[in-house]
Structure 1
Amino acid sequence: MSSLKLFRTTEFALSSFFSPERERAAMHPAWVIVLASVWIATACNLALWQQLARLPGLENTRGLWFGVGFAVMIAAATSALLSLLAWRRTLKPAITLFLLAGAFGAYFMLSYGVVIDTTMMTNVLQTNPREVGDLVSWRMLGSVLVLAVLPAVWLWRKPLRRLGFGRQLLVNTMVLIASCAVLVVATAILYKDLSSVMRNHTQLRYLINPLNSFYALGDAAAKPFERNDSVLLPTGEDAKLGDSYTAQSKPPLLLLVLGEAGRAGNFGLNGYARATTPELARENVVSLHNAWSCGTSTAASVPCMFSPLGRVDFEARKANHEGLLDVLQRAGLAVLWIDNQSGCKGVCDRVHNVDTSQLKVPGLCQGGECFDAVMLDNIDQRIAALPAAARAKGVVLVMHQMGSHGPAYYKRSPAAYKKFLPECTSNNLQDCDREQLVNAYDNTVLYTDHFLASSIEWLKTEEHNWSPAMIYVADHGESLGENNLYLHGLPYSIAPDVQKHVPWITWLSPSFEQRDKITTACLKRRLDAPVSQDNYFHSVLGLLDVQTSVYQRSMDIYAGCAQP
């Protein structure tokens, strides 16, 4: 009794937490859900409202009412979801999660013009710390502070009325029913305009924040159930080396350079007004003008281009398959992947591979990353370490570039290759004017030109032992502010051409031409022929004379120049 009396007379017991005034000031959970839903539907969806305001026919009073109705729909859908989580221990954490997802989504959609779909969510899940560092800025922190942190602080400081389980269940059910009813009524009222807008402007569905993030995350999580990722189906089990290997005097050495965020239109070889490829212009290379990616992100394009399925079938696959490197290795060739970026997305898991992220080569590595030239460092020793029997037949070397990885383009080129000035030195691309942004990007192309030319020079020094060749293809393109879009990753169906039009450059040494009976002169007559990364798998197999039933000659872009 004495302890109870002491408790009742302490200042703690008389604090505002236990006071009737605090209890009367506590908010009902239902009102908290409504307020949070309205804030998220309005402030966190500025990117959506900007896009709607730009649409023809929606700049008048009718468009204003459509926007209001659309906001009501988003608020109702958000409220319905939160009602499922409106329990004493889960409501505040759930709203905080919604606020953070909405704030980050709003920042990236407003800053870079991106949308959030399953592919973008996959990119987010596969992002490494180095890439995260390139994206962090004071503008991002400020946006998250205003849109999420301050409302969350208010929420956590605000007492909520405590309801018994039965009453809470009843309230949650009523909020859910009311939210669904509002959603249905608003949809019915807006249906005519809504169906037209969504049909003609499909990108808007990926801007509904943060529902887009939750849907994309759920869809990404459901992929293992749609596709059996525990099984890897074999590809090209019958792969073998062709007749050219029987009496070869020098085995092939094929360098496959996998570029990053390369815009075909910014390569001087493709007619760009600026001399961004002066070193390659002095080499006997072939640069295809009409090449297209099978995705708009590394996570989508790289597995696709190393697959025999092609873009459409690859996206619809029910199981994962081995890829190009597995087939080449099975045929008996030595294969090595050197990565200077964010990984090979699974395509190099079963071959020898090297990661440059931990290298500290003076002059080439700084700030936790290396310039692409680091992949040529100790290259002869790396090749010598491959199995001797396979090496004697031929070597396939893949180099995955940092290339033109954004948004910090200025980090991708050394000082000696900053020809185009002034350049944008911020990762807030919208803070830079168009000229500075293009200058920074073009400097990355200039350095890629140097790296590819240096690779060719190295291959030339190996011609006494090998028959060397090089193929460079970028994984996807890049937006540089056109129509307020930046970076890449838009859904393929709505992505602009600059995110899909990629450079494809081939160099063949005289000994390789003689070996394959393919001439560079013939390839130059086909510069404008349409090709895509769907052709990549078959073209590499054909160039290396690897015979397998999965090879399709009609998909081999080099086959047309092969002499019998």
Structure 2
Amino acid sequence: MPLLKRLLAWFQPDTTRPLTQAWLAALWMGLLANWPLWKQLQTLPGINLGFTLAFAGMVIAATGAVLSLLAWPRLIKGVIVLLLLAAGALAYFIGAYGIVFDPTMVVNMIQTDVRETRDLLSWRLGVSLLLLGALPAWWLLRRPAAPAQSLPRRLGGNLVSFTLGIVAMVVLALSVFATLSSTMRNHKTIRYMVTPLNAVYSVSAVGVRSLSGPKGPPVVIGADAQLLPRAEGAKPPLLLLVVGETARSMNFSLNGYARPTNPELAKLPATSLFSLRDVTSCGTATAASLPCMFAPQGREAFDADKPQENLLDVLQRAGLAVLWLDNQSGCKGLCDRVPNSFTAKLPEGATPLPAGLCDGEECFDEALLHELDKRIAALDPARLQRGLVLVMHQMGSHGPAYFKRSPPDLKHFQPECRSNELQKCPREQVVNGYDNTIATTDRLLARSVQWLQTQQARFDTGMLYVSDHGESLGENGLYLHGMPYAIAPREQTHVPMILWVPEGGALAASLKPGCLQGLINQPASHDNLFHTVMGWVGARADVYQPARDLLAACRR
């Protein structure tokens, strides 16, 4: 009978004990919340049931080991509840969109606004949170408090549990080492799919970086910035820099895409419009790309953990007027020290936005053009006499609710996916909705050119458009963006860049005939943006690198 009682006790563990709760949570999350991981493993070559079981045991052992260190009566329940809810959410997003959860994704989450969050909500997310997170959390919170135990005994038990978990993980890893090393080397996304350890690691990494990073104002760059002298009677430059959102180069008909996604831009003279077809982004998400593309160092040398001034600061220090207009979630700190505004915040005395341009929650990108003259008139007149760099930050093709990003008269490609759960729509409908957003950007750029043409009596005008990153539309089961750069597919890093340099302008006259046409198929990247803009408007500083200025080789 005593032996029977012991066996029954083994199968009916004391759920009041913190260590028992830790290992039950590890078992639940390791097996159930990782269903996207187990599904992904089965699609990989050379993976059998034995490896999958061993890998599952490794995940459970590692999770249990981590939780063992936190298995204290007043701590463990709160930690597990948070991890359960996080695991429920991550299981949905990883399974639905094929995303991975790394430190960059944590930064994206921190900087996401209410509109972007709302687009990601669905009833399936609610079901995942309920079944994988809320219900086990409710069960856990109903467990009575653990009996009192001395500190040394509690600490010793936790350390023994941690050690056993690590030993079990190592033994299982060694049992399938050949397959494990090959899988981790050839399929790096797997390591970012292990829930909730991916969340623990990524949140911790971002926290450590924020605490250990330099404090105080951003480092000054381009302290010697100045403008090159202009010829007598020459007009000051006006460069419109349009920062696109989630646009991928391969869906622009200007770049060879079969569908007519750029009908308006295609009407402009080929001698003034140049679409570069081989441009690479700094990152795969806005939070990573924006600061990098406005920095002089380039992607390889840029360090996001060392705050510094950016292109806008240098242009303003050189004496130019700078204005940032935003139709998205903000400028990620880039515009903090220059005049800036949102589309919905109209200048004093401006006429209301036309009906249909905004729905009370967000505006179509064409709102960026509304009352531009009044916005510019509010800038420093002395600076305007030297020139103006106007930045427009689009909502663009931000997903997953692509259908919200195009007005009714630009929904040329039908039927389009009308859901934010892209995986539930036929891929053709997802692409239709996305292509409609590219056509919407096309009209914005064409009308921007029309506005610039109205300014030519006063300024030497030009436009540069470039997207911050691309987008996956179901290729290899991936949706949206934000993959770690080293393993990101080309769909997320191959972005459009378009230059409009009007014939008869001072810039066009300063360039070798036909030279810009030669740039179309040449490799370029976000690394070129800082230096090309400085060269375009005639600004110089010690951080300016002519080798990265796309126009430098074309100057007479």
Which category describes the TM-score, using the shorter chain as reference length? Answer: over 0.9
- The CA deviation string for residues 271-327 of structure 1, in whole angstroms up to 9 with x for no partner, is 110000000001131100111101000011111010001001004x66222111111
State which of 45, 49, 63 in structure 1 corresponds to 2:38. 49
Instruction: Confirm or deny that 1:79 pairs with 2:67.
Output: no
The 1:372–1:519 alpha-carbon spacing in structure 2 relative to 1, beyond 3 Å, is: farther
Tell me the distance in 2 between the aligned counterparts of 1:490 and 1:175: 34
State which of 265, 274, 279 in structure 2 corresponds to 1:291. 279
1:308 equivalent in structure 2 = 296
Tell me the distance in 1 between the aligned counterparts of 2:454 and 2:305: 45
1:219 equivalent in structure 2 = 205
1:6 equivalent in structure 2 = none
Farther-moved stretch of structure 1 (305-314 vs 163-172):
163-172
- The CA deviation string for residues 367-414 of structure 1, in whole angstroms up to 9 with x for no partner, is 410111111111001101110110111010000000000000000001
| Residues 44-193 of structure 1 mapped to structure 2, 5 A cutoff | 44-58=33-47, 63-166=48-151, 167-193=153-179
The 1:169–1:130 alpha-carbon spacing in structure 2 relative to 1, beyond 3 Å, is: same
3-state secondary structure, aligned to 1:290: strand
1:159 CA displacement = 2.9
* Alignment length (residue pairs): 535
8 A contact 1:83–1:173 mirrored in 2 = yes
8 A contact 2:219–2:309 mirrored in 1 = yes
1:25 CA displacement = 7.5
8 A contact 1:513–1:519 mirrored in 2 = no
8 A contact 2:13–2:20 mirrored in 1 = no
1:188 alignment partner AA: L
Instruction: Confirm or deny that 1:406 pairs with 2:391.
Output: no
1:519 CA displacement = 6.1
Over 6 Å off, 4+ runs: none
1:511 CA displacement = 4.3
The 1:318–1:172 alpha-carbon spacing in structure 2 relative to 1, beyond 3 Å, is: closer
3-state secondary structure, aligned to 1:386: coil
Instruction: Confirm or deny that 1:333 pairs with 2:337.
Output: no
Instruction: Confirm or deny that 1:323 pairs with 2:310.
Output: yes
8 A contact 2:99–2:482 mirrored in 1 = yes
The 1:221–1:298 alpha-carbon spacing in structure 2 relative to 1, beyond 3 Å, is: same
8 A contact 1:408–1:425 mirrored in 2 = yes
User: TM-score normalised to the size of structure 1?
Assistant: 0.91
User: TM-score normalised to the size of structure 2?
Assistant: 0.93
State which of 232, 240, 247 in structure 1 corresponds to 2:218. 232
The 1:188–1:557 alpha-carbon spacing in structure 2 relative to 1, beyond 3 Å, is: same
Tell me the distance in 1 between the aligned counterparts of 2:504 and 2:544: 24
- The CA deviation string for residues 517-562 of structure 1, in whole angstroms up to 9 with x for no partner, is 1268421122100000001111111111112221111111111221
8 A contact 2:250–2:257 mirrored in 1 = yes
1:39 equivalent in structure 2 = 28
Farther-moved stretch of structure 1 (331-340 vs 102-111):
102-111
Tell me the distance in 1 between the aligned counterparts of 2:345 and 2:373: 19
- The CA deviation string for residues 420-471 of structure 1, in whole angstroms up to 9 with x for no partner, is 1110010000011011100000000001000000100010011111111000
Instruction: Confirm or deny that 1:506 pairs with 2:499.
Output: yes
Instruction: Confirm or deny that 1:388 pairs with 2:381.
Output: yes
Any stretches of 5+ residues in structure 1 without a counterpart? 1-22
3-state secondary structure, aligned to 2:19: helix
- The CA deviation string for residues 57-87 of structure 1, in whole angstroms up to 9 with x for no partner, is 11xxxx2111111111111111122122222
1:164 CA displacement = 2.0
2:551 equivalent in structure 1 = 558
The 1:510–1:388 alpha-carbon spacing in structure 2 relative to 1, beyond 3 Å, is: same
Instruction: Confirm or deny that 1:532 pairs with 2:517.
Output: no
Tell me the distance in 2 between the aligned counterparts of 1:262 and 1:534: 18
1:513 CA displacement = 4.2
State which of 449, 471, 475 in structure 1 corresponds to 2:464. 471
1:346 equivalent in structure 2 = 333
State which of 238, 241, 246 in structure 2 corresponds to 1:261. 246
3-state secondary structure, aligned to 2:218: strand
Instruction: Confirm or deny that 1:496 pairs with 2:489.
Output: yes
8 A contact 2:501–2:507 mirrored in 1 = no
State which of 177, 183, 186 in structure 2 corresponds to 1:197. 183
Tell me the distance in 2 between the aligned counterparts of 1:561 and 1:229: 41
Identical-residue share of aligned pairs (%): 49
The 1:193–1:248 alpha-carbon spacing in structure 2 relative to 1, beyond 3 Å, is: farther
1:159 alignment partner AA: P
